[in-house]
Copies of this chain bind each other. A is one copy, B any other.
C-alpha cells in the first residue's frame, strides 16, 4: 500500500483505464473527459497527457481494454461441439448488452484511425470468432480453410443485431423481437 498524497501516482495509466471502464456506462462515452478522469484519480488535469498523446489515443486504449474483456468471455463460451457458434454468439450479445457504451466505442471508426498494432486484443477477438466459425465448418470434415465472406457475414449479423438492440433502434411501440433466438440463429448464415 502506498501513501495517499504522494507526488507520483505510480499506476496512473492503469488507473485511468480502470476509471474509464467504470464510468463509461454511467456517464456515456461523451461524458468521459480526461480532466474528469484525472480528478477522480486525484491527479492534475494535465497528468493523463503523460500517458496518452491525446484523447483519441486514450479512447483507443480503452477500447482495446474492452476487447481484452471480450476475449475472456469468448474464451469461456468456446465450448466444443455444434453449439459452439450459438454459445459464442450469446456471449457476444451478453457482453454488448452489459456494456453498451464500451461496445460502441470498441466498434467505432476511431479504431481504424489508430496506428497499426495498437489494438492487439481487437484483432485477437476477431480471430477467435473466425476460428470458431472455421472449426464448426470443418467439423463435418470437408474444408478446414477460412471462408472470409462467410465469417464476415456471421460477424455482420451479430454485430448489427447487437447494435439495433443496444442503440434502441427498434421502434418501442412494435412487438419486441426475440433477441436471444435471433442471436442463436447466427450459425445458419453464409451458406
A interface: dominant SS = helix
A141 within 8 A of B: no
A72 within 8 A of B: no
| B-chain residues with CB within 8 Å of residue A123 when the two chains form the complex | 171
A164 interface neighbour in B100, B156, B168, B190, Cβ under 8 Å: B156
A81 within 8 A of B: no
Contact A164 B182 (CB under 8 A): no
A148 within 8 A of B: yes
A46 within 8 A of B: no
Contact B126 A168 (CB under 8 A): no
Contact B166 A109 (CB under 8 A): yes
| B-chain residues with CB within 8 Å of residue A111 when the two chains form the complex | 167-169
Whole-angstrom CA separation of A100 from B188 in the bound complex: 29
Known: A109-B104, A160-B161. A152 touches B181 (CB 8 A): no
A107 within 8 A of B: yes
Whole-angstrom CA separation of A169 from B159 in the bound complex: 11
Contact A155 B164 (CB under 8 A): yes
A108 within 8 A of B: yes
Contact A109 B159 (CB under 8 A): no
* Distance of A150 from chain B, by nearest CB (Å): 10
Mark A110-126 against chain B: 1 for CB-CB distance below 8 A, else 0. 01100010000001001
| B-chain residues with CB within 8 Å of residue A190 when the two chains form the complex | 185
| B-chain residues with CB within 8 Å of residue A158 when the two chains form the complex | 156, 160
Contact segment of A18-26, A35-43, A172-180: A172-180
* Distance of A111 from chain B, by nearest CB (Å): 7
Interface, chain A (partner B; CB < 8 A): 100, 104, 107-109, 111-112, 116, 123, 126, 148-149, 152-153, 155-161, 163-164, 166-172, 174-175, 177-178, 181-182, 185, 188-191
